[in-house]
A and B are shown apart, each in its own frame.
Chain A
């Protein structure tokens, strides 16, 4: 019985992910070693860079927030049989929508933030929905459609950002969002006299509040749970999964497969849009002209893969991704080591996650060795 259980455990996605993370770090160590840096020192820098100060932890969370959300976007689409390569473009639309609604509408605090976030999410949902519509109506593969929509979003963003009346003078970005739309934790109070006094008395908070800590992480966590719930506990989610797993059967039992595909892409778009919206409302306060894609949407693909395409799995996967990106960014300064090493680590993790057969073999070897040790007793 215990063998059966162990078998289940070693084949589980959690084992696979942990193994992949470990192997990915090992590959990174090898690369560092070959390039003439001490892997131990480098990982020390990264770990210190993530955990050694409250503000570092806060930054890690801030980095992870959009990644969790774009990861959710990709994972959600994936669970319904669609490959959303368009999280990047949807992220841009979400950021743009939130920036405009945050800057050019005036509403009371909180309500304004909710309104601006909703505007961004809606814009991105529309963007995702377009890809879904193209697939449902004309059979256009969503991969092609979303890749093209990414570029469309980029250039649309650059066009709108530079329109007179929207562009901020002396910058290639939109006007800053109004304070009422900001989702940073107490952005005004913390720089006020009272805030400064309180912070001086609380060194940990003093450090944390130096960072643009914002409510985005809460939205990401709630979003993950909501996605899981929607997929597994509602009729809509059931239908979306049925369409994803067996289109012919879904059609046969009377599910409107075209409507469901559009719906799924719109939800995926909305999730990536939320990433963009809270990125703007909680941190950057503007939508800037983009010379190239920022990559937060594309990183979502990696997050979803590491998270085994499960909404809940996207939380640790996004945190890991964010931690590596933030902690890894310190390598350059501390060791003059190239930060590309971090991309190699992340790439390797994804590479190993994508090879379930390899982890299976490793798990079996481990098991056999463990059993092998026990054999003399049996024999």
Chain B
């Protein structure tokens, strides 16, 4: 009891020996986790290490198998997120939970509608409150805007507002920077600073070291469900933290030899295509990818990258222009035919296009090779061969948990990505299109993916990298094309490019001033 009162003074959150098991899999193993009031605390760990699991318990999504949770020194039993919210805990998930056609205010009110007589919504009141909160924390959110019309970064700020509106004192942000551009990440940093200045406590779940260094004061590292330690961020370097997280030394820059590019493997000529709303998305795209090089497409999200990849994989019709692959005009080829010709693609949305969530890992690993030997003989699946293949790739790509019978939907994002990567690379394609291949991955996994992409390049295949992450682009690319409003505005050799120059070109060239 005494101890509890003591910690009330210091800790906003204390989790003691929290263990969470799912079946025979232990996601959290006797984890002690303490967050001081008013601090920014980072929860660091690889994908599948158990960070989100730990925080989901603090948010009342599921109860611990054993162990206790204290909020402001008081032992709590959180049966649902509602309990957690009542205790002042708010969580912003990786996937936002917003109603697209609703306005910002309507979304924030949802579930907490303040209604007057006859149950008429008192929206004006909520609107004022949202406006006040937004300006107080410097969120610059327009409470009247519709969710479908605002950027992802803005949507994230709406989620933060939603927590604040519900009286959150402790904010958990799950991978908040995964979807943001460098400028937006900086802005988020300012917001987090404003929050703690007003006495809020912030927990950031992340695996991005640079942001921890920038934003957090203390950091707790979890590896494979076990706590490695809690450290002051200022006292550790990025590579120290990376080593704690992964359990071995990690190199950030990709080691690679100069490209030995060969003949052209992919060529686009004046490609025009429409987006889902029927508006022009690609306006005469032209570029070549050569064998033995990584060509990166740099650009701000929404400038036609998604449509470009869909045009290349055959999922989106071309209005005019043509695509040549290995010398053939493949403009009208079906996706299946392109795959047979040696085109592989890591899609940007792994849940939507990359995996069949209800299939096992083993089944997901043969999606393109379902009809090929040895997995299929005369149309009959060879389950043993499929299983062998899966176990081989699980080991080689370190997919966790290492069970080929697990459903893909039960894996963490990073491990899902590994499944896709394993599948696409081991098919030994002629051209690999990698669309945001490391989005949401941790340093260990990113290092791995990057090495693999370089390896594919070194084998004399073509690699087309579409990334929103400038660091990644600069690490990996041999040549860079900048896409802006559906046009290629610049083609650069790696040596000519730097962050500043690319940033300018991505924003529409010199017209937008420095």
Contact = CB atoms under 8 A, between A and B. Distances in A.
Interface of A: 4, 233-236, 238-239, 241-242, 245-246, 248-256
A254 B355 contact: no
Nearest to B349: A248
Contact of A242 (B315, B352, B356, B376): B356
A246 B357 contact: yes
B370 A235 contact: yes
A249 B348 CA distance: 12
Contact of A4 (B23, B313, B347, B352): B23
Contacts of A251: 315, 335, 353
B380 A233 contact: yes
Contacts of A239: 370
B335 A252 contact: yes
B259 to A, nearest CB: 28
B355 A249 contact: yes
B258 interface: no
Given A4-B23, A238-B381, A245-B359, 9 more contacts: A4-B24, A233-B383, A234-B379, A241-B356, A246-B356, A249-B353, A252-B335, A254-B336, A255-B336
9 contacts: A239-B370, A242-B356, A245-B356, A248-B353, A249-B353, A249-B356, A250-B356, A252-B315, A255-B336
A252 B336 contact: no
Contact of B359 (A235, A236, A241, A255): A241
Contacts, number: 69
A235 B363 CA distance: 11
Given A235-B370, A242-B356, A242-B367, A253 B339 contact: yes
B352 A248 contact: yes
A293 B360 CA distance: 41
A119 to B, nearest CB: 25
A245 B357 contact: yes
Interface in B309-348: 313, 315, 334-340, 345, 347
Nearest to B358: A245
Interface of B: 23-24, 313, 315, 334-340, 345, 347, 352-359, 363, 367-368, 370-371, 376, 379-381, 383
B371 A249 contact: no
Contacts of A246: 352, 355-358
Contacts of A238: 363, 370, 381
> Which residue among A246, A253, A256 has the maximum number of chain B CB atoms within 10 Å of its CB?
A253
Contact of B367 (A4, A233, A253): A253
Contacts of B337: 254
Contacts of B339: 253-254
B352 A249 contact: yes
Closest A-B pairs by Cβ, 9 of them: A254-B336, A253-B367, A252-B353, A254-B339, A245-B358, A235-B376, A246-B356, A254-B335, A245-B356
Contact of A249 (B336, B340, B367, B376): B367
A219 to B, nearest CB: 22
A235 B378 CA distance: 9
Contacts of A255: 336
A246 B338 CA distance: 20
Contacts of B23: 4
Contacts of B368: 253-254
Given A251-B335, A252-B313, A253-B339, A235 B352 contact: no
A229 to B, nearest CB: 9
A235 B356 contact: no
B348 to A, nearest CB: 11
Nearest to B369: A253
Contacts of B379: 234-236
A248 B356 CA distance: 9
Contacts of A253: 335, 339, 367-368
B334 A254 contact: yes
Given A4-B24, A253-B367, A235 B335 contact: no
Contacts of A235: 370-371, 376, 379-381
B367 to A, nearest CB: 4
Contacts of A245: 356-359
A252 B376 contact: no
Contacts of B355: 246, 249
A99 B460 CA distance: 64
B363 A256 contact: no
> Which residue among B347, B353, B368 has the maximum number of chain A CB atoms within 10 Å of its CB?
B353
Contact of A252 (B354, B359, B363, B380): B354
Contact of B381 (A4, A233, A242, A249): A233
A4 B23 CA distance: 7
Contacts of B358: 245-246
A114 B224 CA distance: 60
Given A239-B370, A246-B357, A255-B336, A234 B352 contact: no
Contacts of B347: 252
A249 B368 CA distance: 10
Nearest to A256: B336
A174 B335 CA distance: 49
Contact of B334 (A236, A241, A256): A256
A251 B353 CA distance: 8
A4 B368 CA distance: 36
Contacts of A256: 334, 336
Contacts of A249: 352-356, 367
A107 to B, nearest CB: 30
A159 B340 CA distance: 49
Nearest to A232: B381
Contacts of B334: 254, 256
A236 B339 CA distance: 18
Nearest to B313: A252
A344 B376 CA distance: 46
A242 B315 CA distance: 17
B111 to A, nearest CB: 21
Contacts of A236: 379
A52 to B, nearest CB: 45
